Amino acid sequence: MIRVAAAGDLHVGPEVAGAYRARLSALADQADVFLVAGDLTRHGTVEEGLVAAGELRDHGVPVIAVLGNHDYHSDAEDEIGGVLRDAGVTVLEGDATVLDCGGTTLGVAGGKGFGGGFEGRCASDFGEPEM
């Protein structure tokens, strides 16, 4: 059995630095992997990405994330992905990863899709034209 913890829409900003770390402190006791389903940041700034990276690093389990529409708002998604990767987070962008979880294989695929689906993996802000 693989224990999966998952969260989305963290919307991290400087004002919450440390708050998620405290809540995730027992993560390794309760899960084998932590999946984060987009919107790690509020406005998609590198500063917010650094805070998110700090919140998600070193919990004793693999952390796998996809970026969400908020993470693209400042056109810094590449930098945000980089700081997350530097913190040990696997960031999926239309690709996949495979983990060994105690002898059981887990495959995770991920990519950003919003509003109108996954075509091009990135809809315009909030997807209105696609809807």
The CATH number linked to 54 is 3.60.21.40
Q: Using 50, 70 and 90 to split pLDDT, how confident is the model at 7? A: very high
Domain count, the chain: 1
What are 47-73's pLDDT values in tens digits? 999 999 999 999 999 999 999 999 999
CA atoms within 13 A on the CB side of 1: 3
Q: Are 51 and 42 in contact (CB under 8 A)?
A: no
Q: What is the pLDDT of residue 73?
A: 92
Q: Give residue-wise pLDDT tens across range 120-131.
A: 555 555 554 544
pLDDT attached to residue 111? 86
Report if residue 37 sits inside a domain.
Answer: yes
- Report the percentage of the chain scoring pLDDT > 90: 79
Is the pLDDT score of 31 beyond 70? Answer: yes
The distance in angstroms from the start CA to the end CA of the chain is 39
User: Per the domain annotation, does 116 fall within a domain?
Assistant: no
Q: Which domain holds residue 87?
A: 4-93
pLDDT for residue 63: 98
pTM of the model: 0.85
Q: Is 121 a domain residue? A: no
Mean per-residue pLDDT, 8-37: 94
Give the span between the Cα atoms of 92 and 114, in whole angstroms: 15
In a domain, 123, yes or no: no
